[in-house]
């Protein structure tokens, strides 16, 4: 703990941030399980965040960014280094800019996806409605190009501003960005903000569109349970060379209801792992491994996790 306290002083003692050592992290995720962060920092300004990132780079301190925690599993032993939360007012601000027929929204990375979406609907602006029912921060949604059957966030992105590993600010216009299935080509560890191109629409019609998407998700997903959303990405079938449903593969392998400790494959949607009180992150990890092995044995297809796993001494940007 003394090392953590020394790190806190040297990394951010003079910065406009809020810092907590040995901070409970698992409860900030949708799974609600997992260990602590050695150091949790909430910068109040972009300048403070940039300086922090530079110092972490120089001291070879791993940095992770915690968004909404919706698709994150934290190991039972917690994580080393620095975990940054971008949920202070400056870092979750949204602004509209209208010039002639061009409508744009600038959203900071910490802005809540659901709140931002509903604000655009009230303004009578379309572009983010495919994100209805997807829990995420703006930065997290862009990082994984979140989306579903109705579209993805990358469809509306005009430009993205990031912090490099050296703490420098860079902006990428849409022609330099690639948004693929659950991925982007953004090379930098921290997304600061994004500008979205929106189109005028009828607020009432947009609300109905959002309700339709919510109803679809409610009917097909176990939204009431503790989970991190879809566990695995939909893989490409090596025979057809087309993406196939990971949930269908898991179901066909006979894994609905299969449990390890307090973690279980949802009986409502096989690509969801749900947890009950007392579950451990290790239960989920063991279940993930079971699923991958059984699906490969049954279908010859390797599954790749969509859920992000943080464990001590693994991952993080240095």
Residue 183 designated active-site: no
User: Which residue from 265, 306, 266, 312 is spatially nearest to 286, judged by alpha carbons?
Assistant: 265
Residue 230 designated active-site: yes
Among 12, 56, 162, 230, the one annotated catalytic: 230
Are 206 and 251 found together in one domain?
no
Answer with the one of 89, 109, 141 that is the final residue of a domain: 89
Whether 234 is covered by a domain: the verdict is: no
Are 77 and 145 found together in one domain?
no
Whether 235 is covered by a domain: the verdict is: no
Are 54 and 102 found together in one domain?
no
- The pTM for the full model equals 0.91
Whether 37 is covered by a domain: the verdict is: yes
Q: Residue 31 belongs to a domain with what CATH number?
A: 3.30.43.10
**CA contacts within 13 A on the Cβ side of 18:** 8
Residue 182 designated active-site: yes
- Which residues are CB-contacts of 174 (< 8 A; sequence separation ≥ 6)? 157, 158, 159
Among 12, 306, 311, 317, the one annotated catalytic: 306
Whether 230 is covered by a domain: the verdict is: no
Are 23 and 114 found together in one domain?
no
Whether 31 is covered by a domain: the verdict is: yes
- Which residues are CB-contacts of 131 (< 8 A; sequence separation ≥ 6)? 113, 114, 117, 141, 146, 147, 153
Are 85 and 97 found together in one domain?
no
Among 182, 207, 292, 312, the one annotated catalytic: 182
Q: For residue 124, give its domain range.
A: 93-220
Whether 239 is covered by a domain: the verdict is: no
Cα–Cα distance, 68 to 310 (Å, whole number): 14
Answer with the one of 89, 106, 141 that is the final residue of a domain: 89
- The encoded tokens of residue 154 equal 């990358």
Q: What are phi and psi of 247, to 5 degrees?
A: -60, -40
Are 97 and 216 found together in one domain?
yes
Whether 191 is covered by a domain: the verdict is: yes
Whether 225 is covered by a domain: the verdict is: no
Element (H, E) at 193: strand 190-200
Cα–Cα distance, 98 to 75 (Å, whole number): 45
Cα–Cα distance, 82 to 90 (Å, whole number): 20
Are 211 and 303 found together in one domain?
no
Q: What are phi and psi of 18, to 5 degrees?
A: -110, 125
Are 83 and 108 found together in one domain?
no
Pairing of strands 63-66, 79-85: parallel
Q: Do 30 and 70 touch, CB atoms closer than 8 A? A: yes
Structurally, the chain folds into a number of domains equal to 3
Q: Residue 250 belongs to a domain with what CATH number?
A: 3.90.78.10
Are 196 and 98 found together in one domain?
yes
Residue showing tokens 């810092």: 19
User: Which residue from 217, 214, 145 is spatially nearest to 183, judged by alpha carbons?
Assistant: 145
Are 37 and 52 found together in one domain?
yes
Neighbours of 244 (CB within 10 A): 15
* pLDDT by residue, tens only, the chain of 318 residues: 445 655 677 888 899 999 999 999 999 999 999 999 999 999 999 999 999 999 999 999 999 999 999 999 999 999 999 999 999 999 999 999 866 656 789 999 999 999 999 999 999 999 999 999 899 999 999 999 999 888 999 999 999 999 999 999 999 999 999 999 999 999 998 999 999 999 999 999 999 999 999 888 877 777 656 678 899 999 999 988 899 999 999 999 999 999 999 999 999 999 999 999 999 999 999 999 999 999 999 999 999 999 999 999 875 553
User: Which residue from 252, 27, 211 is spatially nearest to 129, judged by alpha carbons?
Assistant: 211
Are 100 and 191 found together in one domain?
yes
Are 201 and 149 found together in one domain?
yes
């Amino acid at each position: 703990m003394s090392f953590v306290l020394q790190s806190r002083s040297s990394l951010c003692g003079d910065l406009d941030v809020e810092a907590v050592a040995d901070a409970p992290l698992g409860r900030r995720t949708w799974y609600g399980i997992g260990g602590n962060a050695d150091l949790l920092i909430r910068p109040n300004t972009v300048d403070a965040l940039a300086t922090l990132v530079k110092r972490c780079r120089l001291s070879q301190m791993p940095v992770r960014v915690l968004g909404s925690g919706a698709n994150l599993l934290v190991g039972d032993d917690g994580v080393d280094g620095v975990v940054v939360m971008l949920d202070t007012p400056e870092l979750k601000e949204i602004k509209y800019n209208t010039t002639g027929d061009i409508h744009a929204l600038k959203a900071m990375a910490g802005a809540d996806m659901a709140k931002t979406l509903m604000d655009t609907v009230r303004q009578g602006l379309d572009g983010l409605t495919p994100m209805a029912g997807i829990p995420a921060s703006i930065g997290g949604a862009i990082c994984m190009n979140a989306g579903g059957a109705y579209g993805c966030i990358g469809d509306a992105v005009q430009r993205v501003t990031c912090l490099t590993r050296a703490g420098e600010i860079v902006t990428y216009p849409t022609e330099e960005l690639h948004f693929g299935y659950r991925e982007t080509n953004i090379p930098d560890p921290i997304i600061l903000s994004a500008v979205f191109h929106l189109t005028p629409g009828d607020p009432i019609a947009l609300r109905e569109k959002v309700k339709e998407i919510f109803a679809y998700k409610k009917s097909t997903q176990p939204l009431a349970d503790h989970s991190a959303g879809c566990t695995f990405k939909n893989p490409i079938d090596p025979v057809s060379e087309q993406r196939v449903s990971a949930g269908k593969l898991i179901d066909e392998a006979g894994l609905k209801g299969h449990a390890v400790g307090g973690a279980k494959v949802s009986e409502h949607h096989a690509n969801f792992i749900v947890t009950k009180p007392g579950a451990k992150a290790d239960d989920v990890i063991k279940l993930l491994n079971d699923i991958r092995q059984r699906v490969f044995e049954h279908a010859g297809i390797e599954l790749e996790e969509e859920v992000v796993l943080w464990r001590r001494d693994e991952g993080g940007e240095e």
